[in-house]
């Protein structure tokens, strides 16, 4: 794989969809695409694809949401103030929406993915590509979302891709310039999806490291919760930068132990997403952490969150996997202790530099 990375290419990003290459100029023909999940990211991604010139069906659960999108071109509950393009149509009919679609993008909460894929899988033809836009693991099994697409949706691995990166939905919906990384074990699939998922404000890059790309998105959520906790406690930039930096080391150790490439974790799906999520008050994971730091307990935080904060549900499964693979995750353990009411949030930061050893790993 290494010869596929020209030396001028940014680390872990592969050339075909970068500027100046022939592939970057090649726009795919207009296609019928489907996005399942009409929350903030699903709606934003449907807008991205429609703005790239495709016909997009967005599958939502509530008829009133479908009606609002089709009649007013708004999804006010999730994307206030955003006008959606005319090429985006909403529907509650999954079968009708996937009929004739070349690619289906899945954007539901990770804990709903199994149910969604049980319904979706039997509707998919052999030639359809499925792209996970999700950033969580299944709590009961620790499965990554692409694993569920394969096992539950019965999609062959060469037709599965995942997309991740510093992608706060409202910013992209406002058409602020952003980069995204698309990964698949099959290079042609990754390149094809990356070409679909780019337009004047979203630039897509390709990576073949599915494990790293997925875990980057999952794990940065945990560190964003930790940064939110110390922010909620009232600590300042030094503390937050310390948690972020030690957090990057911690999540890299974990991802590499699970089979990821270390350089994926310093790319868009790792460091890039870590920076965006830990710094933004638009982040649900940061917001959930901040509420914990302010003294709300887990149930109170969940009740106050109107949207999905995946990290709250992923931390237990990640710690189980870490234990199975012999990886130390001191910050994640402390988040778990705060979530369980076993640790004062104000205690989180002073512990961050030690994981039971004198010299923190990665320093
Ligand atoms: N919002 C973002 O900025 C962002 C960016 C990148 C990735 N993500 C990831 O995308 C995923 C979805 O996040 P979101 O922000 O859209 O969440 P959200 O809470 O805004 O919306 C989730 C949507 O999924 C729908 N849903 C739930 N179960 C469903 C099912 N079985 N079938 C169909 N629809 C179902 C809900 O009705 C809701 O509309 C998460 O894994 C998240 O981490 C979010
Ligand atoms: O709002 P969050 O915390 O789920 O983060 C959204 C995206 O994952 C940022 O890339």
Instruction: List, for residues 190-241, the tens digit of each pLDDT value.
Output: 999 999 999 999 999 999 999 999 999 999 999 999 999 999 999 999 999 9
Q: What is the mean pLDDT of residues 169-173?
A: 98
Determine contact, residues 178/172, Cβ cutoff 8 Å. yes
Q: Which of 243, 227, 246 lies closest to 292, judged by CA? A: 227
Give the span between the Cα atoms of 268 and 180, in whole angstroms.
7
The residue whose CB lies within 8 Å of the most ligand 1 atoms, and thus the one to mutate among 41, 60, 110, is: 41
Maximal C-alpha separation, the chain: 61
**Ligand 1 pocket: which residues have CB below 6 Å?**
36-42, 61, 78, 107-110, 112, 115-116, 133-136, 167-169, 307-308, 310
pTM: 0.93
Task: Quickly list H helices, 37-154.
Answer: 40-51, 63-72, 94-98, 113-120, 145-151
The four Cα atoms 191, 195, 197, 202 give a dihedral, to 10 degrees, of: 110
**Ligand 2 pocket: which residues have CB below 6 Å?**
135, 166-168, 221, 224, 273, 276-277, 283-285, 310
Query: 3-state DSSP call for residue 109?
Result: coil
The predicted structure's pLDDT at residue 349: 80
2-208: what fold?
A: Rossmann fold (3.40.50)
The predicted structure's pLDDT at residue 354: 53
**Beta bridge pairs of residue 34:** 57, 104
The CATH number given to 212-351 is 1.10.1040.10
Q: What is the mean pLDDT of residues 121-140?
A: 98
The reply to whether 2-208 and 212-351 are identical in fold is: no
Whether 13 shows a pLDDT value over 50: the answer reads: no
Q: Reply yes or no on whether 220 is catalytic.
A: yes
Give the span between the Cα atoms of 254 and 219, in whole angstroms.
9
Give the span between the Cα atoms of 277 and 275, in whole angstroms.
6
Whether 105 shows a pLDDT value over 90: the answer reads: yes
Instruction: List, for residues 250-302, the tens digit of each pLDDT value.
Output: 999 999 999 999 999 999 999 999 999 999 999 999 999 999 999 999 999 99
Task: Delimit the domains of the chain by residue range.
Answer: 2-208, 212-351
The predicted structure's pLDDT at residue 350: 75
Cα of 284 from ligand 2 centre, angstroms: 6
Share of the chain above pLDDT 70, in %: 90
Task: Quickly list H helices, the chain.
Answer: 22-25, 40-51, 63-72, 94-98, 113-120, 145-151, 169-173, 187-196, 210-233, 237-257, 273-279, 284-293, 298-304, 310-324, 330-339
Whether 21 shows a pLDDT value over 60: the answer reads: no
Both tokens of residue 4?
């596929």
Give the span between the Cα atoms of 180 and 197, in whole angstroms.
8
Whether 358 shows a pLDDT value over 50: the answer reads: no
């Amino acid at each position: 794989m290494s010869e596929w990375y020209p030396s001028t290419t940014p680390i872990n990003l592969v050339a075909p969809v970068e500027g100046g290459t022939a592939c970057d100029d090649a726009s795919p023909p207009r296609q019928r695409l489907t996005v399942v999940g009409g929350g903030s990211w699903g709606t934003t991604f449907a807008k991205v694809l429609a703005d790239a010139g495709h016909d997009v069906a967005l599958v939502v659960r509530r008829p009133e949401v479908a009606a609002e999108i089709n009649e007013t071109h708004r999804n006010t509950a999730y994307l206030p103030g955003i006008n959606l393009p005319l090429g985006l149509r909403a529907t509650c009919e999954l079968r009708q929406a996937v009929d004739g679609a070349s690619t289906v993008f899945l954007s539901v909460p990770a804990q709903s993915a199994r149910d969604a894929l049980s319904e979706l899988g039997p509707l998919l033809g052999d030639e359809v590509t499925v792209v996970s836009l999700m950033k969580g693991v299944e709590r009961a099994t620790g499965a990554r979302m692409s694993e569920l697409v394969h096992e539950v949706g019965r999609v062959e691995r060469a037709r599965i891709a995942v997309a991740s990166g510093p992608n706060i939905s409202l910013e992209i919906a406002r058409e602020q310039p952003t980069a995204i990384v698309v990964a698949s074990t099959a290079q042609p699939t990754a390149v094809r999806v990356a070409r679909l998922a780019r337009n004047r404000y979203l630039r897509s890059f390709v990576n073949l490291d599915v494990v790293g790309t997925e875990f980057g998105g999952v794990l940065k959520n945990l560190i964003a919760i930790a940064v939110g906790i110390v922010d909620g406690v009232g600590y300042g930039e030094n503390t937050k930068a310390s948690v972020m930096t030690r957090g990057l080391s911690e999540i890299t150790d974990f991802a590499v132990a699970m089979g990821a490439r270390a350089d994926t974790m310093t790319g868009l799906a790792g460091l890039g997403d870590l920076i965006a999520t830990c710094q933004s008050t638009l982040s649900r994971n940061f917001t959930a952490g901040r509420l914990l730091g302010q003294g709300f307990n887990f149930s109170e935080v969940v009740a106050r969150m109107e949207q999905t904060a995946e990290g709250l549900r992923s931390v237990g499964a990640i710690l189980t996997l870490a234990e199975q693979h012999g990886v130390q995750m001191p910050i994640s353990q402390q988040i778990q202790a705060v979530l369980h009411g076993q640790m004062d949030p104000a205690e989180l930061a002073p512990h961050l530099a030690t994981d039971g050893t004198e010299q923190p790993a990665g320093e």
